[in-house]
Structure 1
Amino acid sequence: MTVKPLQDRVLIKVMEAETKTASGIYIPDTAQEKTQTGTVIAVGDDEESITVKAGDKVMYDKYAGTTISIDSVDHLIVKSSDILAVVN
């Protein structure tokens, strides 16, 4: 399935939550926090308000967007204003 965001929306592939700490302790699903980072997959056609491009790793607002599943992978459609930062 192909999804093309419209206007000032951005499609983000959600990064998987860490299942293990740096010291090797496993984190159960119930204790994992919702991840707030992901990779931009596609952007809308509003070039004036969108400052990210496909391939950028971004941090977004915790309660932003709409979650969708594309080929059994979690994605998020957010407004460009809900993107907080580009991360390296």
Structure 2
Amino acid sequence: MTVKPLGDRVLIKVKEVETKTASGLYIPQTAQEKTTTGTVVAVGEDTDAIAVKVGQDVMYDKYAGTNISIDGVDHLIVSSGDLIAIVE
């Protein structure tokens, strides 16, 4: 399935949550926090309002956007205003 965001929206592939700490302890799913980073998969046609490009890693607001599943992979559609930073 192909999803093309409209307007100033951005489609982000959500990064997986770390299930293991640096010291090797496993974190139960109930204690894991929602990730706020991901990779831009597609952008809308309003290029004046969107400052990110496909393939960039970004950070977004914790409760932003709409969660969708594309071919079993979690994605998020957010407004470009909900993007906080580009992660390099």
Query: What range describes the TM-score normalised by the shorter chain of this pair?
Result: over 0.9
Equivalence for 2:81: 81
Measured against aligned partners, the alpha-carbon deviations of 1:13-60 in whole angstroms (never above 9, x if no partner) come to 000000000010100000000000000000000011000000000000
How far off is 1:68 after superposition? Answer: 0.2
Q: In the aligned structure 2, how far is the partner of 1:54 from the partner of 1:63?
A: 22
Q: In the aligned structure 1, how far is the partner of 2:58 from the partner of 2:32?
A: 20
Q: In the aligned structure 2, how far is the partner of 1:87 from the partner of 1:22?
A: 21
Q: In the aligned structure 1, how far is the partner of 2:25 from the partner of 2:36?
A: 21
Q: In the aligned structure 2, how far is the partner of 1:34 from the partner of 1:4?
A: 24
The 3-state SS of whatever aligns with 1:59 is: strand
Q: In the aligned structure 2, how far is the partner of 1:85 from the partner of 1:23?
A: 28
What does residue range 50-69 of structure 1 map to in structure 2 within 5 Å?
A: 50-69=50-69
Equivalence for 1:24: 24
Segments of 4+ moved more than 4 angstroms:
none
**What is the percentage of aligned positions where both structures have the same residue?**
74
Q: In the aligned structure 2, how far is the partner of 1:3 from the partner of 1:47?
A: 17
Equivalence for 2:3: 3
Q: Which runs of no fewer than 5 residues in structure 2 stay unpaired?
A: none
The 3-state SS of whatever aligns with 1:39 is: strand
Task: Give the TM-score of the pair, scaled to structure 1.
Answer: 0.99
Q: Does 1:13 align with 2:20?
A: no
Task: Give the TM-score of the pair, scaled to structure 2.
Answer: 0.99
Task: Kindly report the root-mean-square deviation, in angstroms, between the aligned alpha carbons of the 2 structures.
Answer: 0.3
